């Protein structure tokens, strides 16, 4: 009973914002030493607002969440925001956002703090996914953790020595743009043979479609009835689980490429754990098994000995949890 009281006294409230390309989600989160609870929630479609009206929406909703909590006697310590792009974390300056037009060099921290009257911190969404997983999720208790989001793009967040590692220009973690083929196909980034060029979801589908068109045998042929462009990752996923050899091989191939790039990351950083999230990672063991096998084949034995490669615990929620955590951890150390 006394312990409960003690815990309640130590509860900390923050607001987390997951600013995605499709939705902006906000949550009031209550943190205790070992857990968290979402106590208020709100969301709106990103595309409905231009930049200035979106900032306005953020202000209105943050103030509302904050008011609900202060009314109950709690102090809300600040707002953490995760965005799909590069951010100067120190200044709270958003350089630009993938798939959200009109967001070049926006001083978002400044714009919000003057209105919401509590501290605002902004970071890249992959960094915050890594933060959430390493504090409360799949990588809890580990000091060196690599989080990879596999979707349209392949992003990465690095927790090194218990802290988010951002690099000189806040541009670290571009795992999808590490090359696995020196003279491979040109990537949108200007590089060659980047991992994303093989296993971004678009490229996985492109490759499968091409093979189907060329006459590959698969149960997907009947399902698609010639409309190969209707192929989705979910269909490949389902077919593979029904032991469709074609689909299994597509995932194995993707796992091989991802395993190759992760073996490189392992040889460079010797992390304790790699956490995979994002749409492509929904393939689960179809992808995880070949990834684990290839990393073990290719990376140093000693670095693989206690290495874990697992799926994200929080999936779509990692962003909002990580954002809410940012306010608490910016001065703390994570991990053991």
Give the residues lining the site for a second copy (CB under 8 A): 86, 95, 143-144, 156, 158, 160-161, 163, 165-175, 177-182, 189-192, 256-257, 260, 263-265, 267-272, 297-303, 305-307
Alpha-carbon distance 191 to 154, whole Å?
14
Residue 233 or 304 with smaller CB distance to a second copy: 304
Residue 172 or 320 with smaller CB distance to a second copy: 172
How far the first Cα of the chain sits from its last, in Å, is 28
The CB-of-138 to a second copy minimum distance in angstroms stands at 16
Residue 31 or 103 with smaller CB distance to a second copy: 103
What are the two backbone dihedrals, phi and then psi, of residue 140, each rounded to the nearest 5 degrees?
-55, 130
The CB-of-7 to a second copy minimum distance in angstroms stands at 32
Burial 314-336 (b: 16+ CB within 10 A, else e): beebbbbbbbbbbbbbbeeebbe
The CB-of-270 to a second copy minimum distance in angstroms stands at 3
User: Residue 67: how many CB atoms within 10 A of its CB?
Assistant: 10
The CB-of-167 to a second copy minimum distance in angstroms stands at 3
Q: How far is CA 215 from the centre of its chain?
A: 36
Which is nearest to 106 in space by CA: 47, 140, 55, 58? Answer: 55
The CB-of-199 to a second copy minimum distance in angstroms stands at 12
Contacts of 67 (CB under 8 A, 6+ apart): none
């Amino acid at each position: 009973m006394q312990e409960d009281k003690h815990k309640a006294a130590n509860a900390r409230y923050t607001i987390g914002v997951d600013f995605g390309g499709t939705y902006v989600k906000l949550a009031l989160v209550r943190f205790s030493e070992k857990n968290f609870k979402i106590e208020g929630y709100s969301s709106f479609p990103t595309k409905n607002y231009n930049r200035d009206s979106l900032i306005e929406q953020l202000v209105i909703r943050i103030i509302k969440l904050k008011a609900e909590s202060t009314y109950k006697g709690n102090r809300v310590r600040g707002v953490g925001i995760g965005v799909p792009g590069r951010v100067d974390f120190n200044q709270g300056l958003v350089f630009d956002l993938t798939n959200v037009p009109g967001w070049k060099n926006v001083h978002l921290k400044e714009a919000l703090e003057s209105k919401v009257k509590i501290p605002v911190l902004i970071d890249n969404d992959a960094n915050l996914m890594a933060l959430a997983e390493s504090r409360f999720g799949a990588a809890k208790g580990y000091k060196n953790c690599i989080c990879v989001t596999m979707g349209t793009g392949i992003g990465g967040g690095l927790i090194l020595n218990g802290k988010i590692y951002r690099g000189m220009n806040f541009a670290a973690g571009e795992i999808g743009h590490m090359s696995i083929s020196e003279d491979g196909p040109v990537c949108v980034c200007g590089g060659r043979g980047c991992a994303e060029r093989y296993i971004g979801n678009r490229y996985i589908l492109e490759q499968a479609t091409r093979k189907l068109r060329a006459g590959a045998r698969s149960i997907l042929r009947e399902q698609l009835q010639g409309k190969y462009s209707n192929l989705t990752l979910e269909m490949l996923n389902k077919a593979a689980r029904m032991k469709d050899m074609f689909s299994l091989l597509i995932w194995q191939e993707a796992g091989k490429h991802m395993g190759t790039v992760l073996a490189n990351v392992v040889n460079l950083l010797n992390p304790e754990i790699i956490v995979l999230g994002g749409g492509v990672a929904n393939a689960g063991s179809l992808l995880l098994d070949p990834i684990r096998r290839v990393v073990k084949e290719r990376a140093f034995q000693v670095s693989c000995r206690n290495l874990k490669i697992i799926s994200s615990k929080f999936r779509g929620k990692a962003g909002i949890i990580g954002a809410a955590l940012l306010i608490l951890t910016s001065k703390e150390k994570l991990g053991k």
